[in-house]
Amino acid sequence: MATSLVEDPKGNPKRPLEANDSSLDSGLDSGLDSGLTTDVSPKLEAGTLNSNDAASVADLRRIPTKDTVAPSKLAIILAVGLPPVVFIGGLIMAVVWGGVNPWFVALVFGGWIATGLGITVGYHRMVAHRSFQTYGWVRAFWIAMGAMALEGCPLQWSTVHRKHHKHSDEESDPHTPHKEGHGWFQGLFFSHVGWMFRQHTFLDEVEKFSPDLRTDPIVMFFHRTYVYWIALSVAIPVGIGLLIQPTVMGAVYGFCFGAGFRIFWTHHVTWSINSVCHVFGARPYKSKDHSRNNFLFGILALGEGWHNNHHAFPNSARHGLKWWQFDLSWVVIRTMSLLGMVWNVKTPSKKEMLSKVNS
Ligand SMILES: [Zn+2]
Ligand SMILES: [Zn+2]
């Protein structure tokens, strides 16, 4: 199947794949056509899992309970509910005390782009879909950025996401807006935020959808240390706030805007891909689900809103397939490719794209 993919068009030298990568490549590549990205367990059962299995299972059990790798309900309530509350508090203070230094806008913008790209380039295209390969330090950098978006650890995020592709808009899709018995609004709400309170990522789902990740030392490092990345996600903007304005209010505004508003905004932009982009927009390509290309979230979600393209070609590193479909994440990946930092970058061929055009 590798032949059906156009690798790095400018022909950066192809590095040898890692052992785990080569054992998974054909299984994941076949997903480009089928829309599936997760049929990797048979290959791993055949020999990739090693004697560290017991240790890996123990690692998985560290967060947070004995049989799931999902955060507790309280943690989800805090992660979803606190950022907007903190932001509104900051807004009230700013209004009452006469505005904030414009550098705080830059802090929010920079934090959004950095952690947003961590989700799109790192968690989604690199970890969940393996749409390009790279050095360990580049991989660690993007996963660190993604972890600071507070959307879960990379193991849990990718397992849920791979399940979404496997069962897209079916009953077992974790966050479809088209769930049986849900009305239009209820479906939209469920897919946006409601699903998180019902979703549990169990160990057997990790085994089924992410066997490659549970033996990936970088992914597992971020899984084990996830709580520290949450702390850093708050501490860094507070520190920058103090640099912008070296008073207590500098730290407070750094917390309220650089952490609170930035996390709130990044969350809802990401979740809109699950909700809005399975309801509103165009379907230029055939896919077995209701995925849509949505111009607004194509821009806001750094390229992820070209979601019908993505479901049609899930392993493609490029989601904005037309020249006018701006895809900042692809610009970043392409730039890294030109600099020799990533390789084996997957994009669909013209023939593949033509074969899936909706008539
Ligand atoms: Zn989707
Ligand atoms: Zn995906």
Cα–Cα nearest to 158, from 199, 114, 119: 119
Q: What is the CA(273)–ligand 2 centre distance, in A?
A: 10
- Is the per-residue pLDDT at 27 higher than 70? no
Q: Fill in the DSSP letter of residue 286.
A: -
Task: Please indicate whether residue 176 or residue 57 has the higher confidence score (pLDDT).
Answer: 176
104, 258 contact by CB (below 8 A): yes
| Percent of the chain's residues with pLDDT above 90 | 67
Distance CA 141, CA 308 (A): 28
pLDDT band at 23, cuts 50/70/90?
Answer: very low
- Predicted local distance difference test score (pLDDT) of residue 53: 47
Short-list 233, 225, 285, 226, CA closest to 255: 233
pLDDT, residue 41, reads 37
84 C-alpha to ligand 2 centroid (Å): 27
Grouping H, G, I as helix, E, B as strand and the rest as coil, residue 290 is coil
Percentage of the chain modeled with pLDDT above 70: 80
Give the ligand whose atoms come closest to the C-alpha of residue 168: 1
Quote the ligand 1 centre to 307 CA distance (angstroms): 6
Q: Which ligand is nearest to the CA of 36?
A: 2
pLDDT at 24: 33
Reported as a pLDDT band with limits 50, 70 and 90, residue 60 is low
Question: What pLDDT was estimated at residue 68?
Answer: 64
Q: Which residue has the higher pLDDT, 228 or 13?
A: 228
My answer on whether omega of the bond before 246 falls inside 30° of 0, hence cis, is: no
Whether 65 has a pLDDT exceeding 60, the answer reads no
Q: Which residue has the higher pLDDT, 235 or 359?
A: 235
Task: Give the chain's mean pLDDT.
Answer: 84
The span from the CA of 123 to the CA of 147, in Å, is 8
Rounded Cα distance, 351 and 193, in Å: 37
State residue 67's pLDDT score.
58
Each residue's pLDDT tens digit, 150-196: 999 999 999 999 999 999 999 999 999 998 888 889 999 999 999 98
Judged by average pLDDT, the poorest of 15-24, 73-82, 238-247 is 15-24
Kindly report, residue by residue over 139-150, the tens digit of the pLDDT. 999 999 999 999
User: How confident is the model at residue 179, as a pLDDT?
Assistant: 87
Ligand 1 centroid from CA 18, angstroms: 29
174 alpha carbon, closest ligand = 1
Query: What is the tens place of the pLDDT at every residue in 312-354?
Result: 999 999 999 999 999 999 999 999 999 999 999 999 999 999 9
* CA dist 182 → 95, 173, 189 (Å): 40, 14, 10
Query: Could you tell me the pTM of the whole model?
Result: 0.83
* CA–centroid distance, residue 131 to ligand 2 (Å): 10
Separation of CA 237 and ligand 1 centre (Å) = 31
151 CA distance to ligand 2 centroid (A)? 15
User: What does the pLDDT read at residue 198?
Assistant: 80
- Higher pLDDT: 302 or 31? It is 302
Query: Could you tell me which residue, 242 or 203, shows the higher pLDDT?
Result: 242
More confidently predicted of 67 and 127: 127
Q: What is the reported pLDDT for 59?
A: 52
Arithmetic mean of pLDDT, 131-140: 98
Does residue 54 have a pLDDT over 80? no
Identify the H or E element spanning 202: none
163 Cα to the center of ligand 2, angstroms: 10
pLDDT at 204: 82
Query: Are 196 and 80 spatial neighbours (Cβ–Cβ below 8 Å)?
Result: yes
329 backbone dihedrals φ, ψ, rounded to 5° = -65, -40
